[in-house]
């Protein structure tokens, strides 16, 4: 069984036991979290597609760690004008383990 989950403006295809990195969630390591925006649940004989969400469906997961990704460097320049601008950004993420898909 798998599910398509929407969190942080992105969609993820998950199944039980998967470990994924998603946008930062509030919580401590080891804490249980439920993702409630389930767009699709797929099973071998049938698939349930939400309109836009699947009713009464949840994905139970536990927070493994909180962290920051690698630095992204943004460099802007205009030729022959002496304009240069350098910025950096590190996006925060939460690493979660999918425990159960609840239908």
User: What are the structure tokens assigned to 28, written together?
Assistant: 């401590």
Angle (CA) 56-62-67 rounded to 5° is 125
Question: What is d(CA 99, CA 65) in angstroms, rounded to the nearest whole number?
Answer: 15
The reported pLDDT for the residue numbered 46 is 87
User: What are the structure tokens assigned to 30, written together?
Assistant: 């080891």
pLDDT tens sequence across 33-91? 999 999 999 987 889 899 999 999 999 999 999 999 999 999 999 999 999 999 999 99
3-state secondary structure of 79: coil
Question: What is d(CA 8, CA 97) in angstroms, rounded to the nearest whole number?
Answer: 16
CB 63, CB 96: distance < 8 Å: yes
The reported pLDDT for the residue numbered 25 is 93
Burial of 35: CB neighbours in 10 Å, binned 0-12, 13-18, 19+: buried
The reported pLDDT for the residue numbered 60 is 96
């Amino acid at each position: 069984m798998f599910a398509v989950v929407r969190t942080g403006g992105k969609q993820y295809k998950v199944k039980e036991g998967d470990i994924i990195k998603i946008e930062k969630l509030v919580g401590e390591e080891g804490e249980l979290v439920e993702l409630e925006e389930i767009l699709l649940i797929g099973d071998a004989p049938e698939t349930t597609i939400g309109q836009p969400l699947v009713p009464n469906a949840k994905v139970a997961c536990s927070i493994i760690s909180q962290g920051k990704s690698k630095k992204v460097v943004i460099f802007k320049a205009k030729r022959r004008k002496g304009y240069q601008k350098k910025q950096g950004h590190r996006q925060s993420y939460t690493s979660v383990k999918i425990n159960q898909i609840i239908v």
